[in-house]
Amino acid sequence: DSGVTQTPKHLITATGQRVTLRCSPRSGDLSVYWYQQSLDQGLQFLIQYYNGEERAKGNILERFSAQQFPDLHSELNLSSLELGDSALYFCASSSRDTSLRGNEQFFGPGTRLTVL
């Protein structure tokens, strides 16, 4: 158990809809990262938050947005869903200490999104 939790585990919805994925980082971790993994693909970085502030953006569509709340949990909002958005969405967290462990990312179990 990595200590990172994600809800829900599975989500099935229709095209055009909007969904929210939730992530709680490990206790004390200030950084949260979101990744998308399409079928049999590697993980693609979407966005990073650090202590409530957006820190970096990757290949995130304009239809997607995220935020990190004062309690450090994060939400990824996906709107106007398309069939191609079906994927596994991972959240990861890390601390900011200077040791190697501070540079390790701990992954949640993922949310599997199916768009029909």
Partner 1 sequence: AQTVTQSQPEMSVQEAETVTLSCTYDTSESDYYLFWYKQPPSRQMILVIRQEAYKQQNATENRFSVNFQKAAKSFSLKISDSQLGDAAMYFCAYRRRNNDMRFGAGTRLTVKP
Counts for the chain of helices (H) and strands (E), in that order: 0, 11
Phi/psi at 3 (5° precision) = 95, -5
Instruction: Please state, as a whole number, how many other Cβ atoms lie within 10 Å of the Cβ of residue 61.
Output: 14
Among 54, 63, 96, 114, binds partner 1 (CB under 8 A): 96
76 is a contact residue toward partner 1 (CB under 8 A): no
User: Pick from 94, 113, 115, 116: which binds partner 1 (CB under 8 A)?
Assistant: 94
Residues 6+ apart with CB under 8 A from 94: 29, 31, 33, 102, 103, 104, 105, 106
| Cα–Cα distance list, 97 to 28, 30, 101, 104, 112 (Å) | 11, 10, 8, 10, 31
Asked if 110 is part of the footprint of partner 1 (rule: CB under 8 A), the reply reads yes
For residue 114, the minimal CB distance to partner 1 (Å) is 14
Smallest distance, partner 1 to C-beta of residue 38, A = 11
Query: Does 90 interact with partner 1 (rule: CB under 8 A)?
Result: yes
Among 7, 77, 80, 103, binds partner 1 (CB under 8 A): 103
- What is the binding site for partner 1 (CB under 8 A)? 31, 33, 35, 37, 40-45, 48, 56, 58, 88, 90, 92, 94, 96, 100, 102-105, 107, 109-110, 112
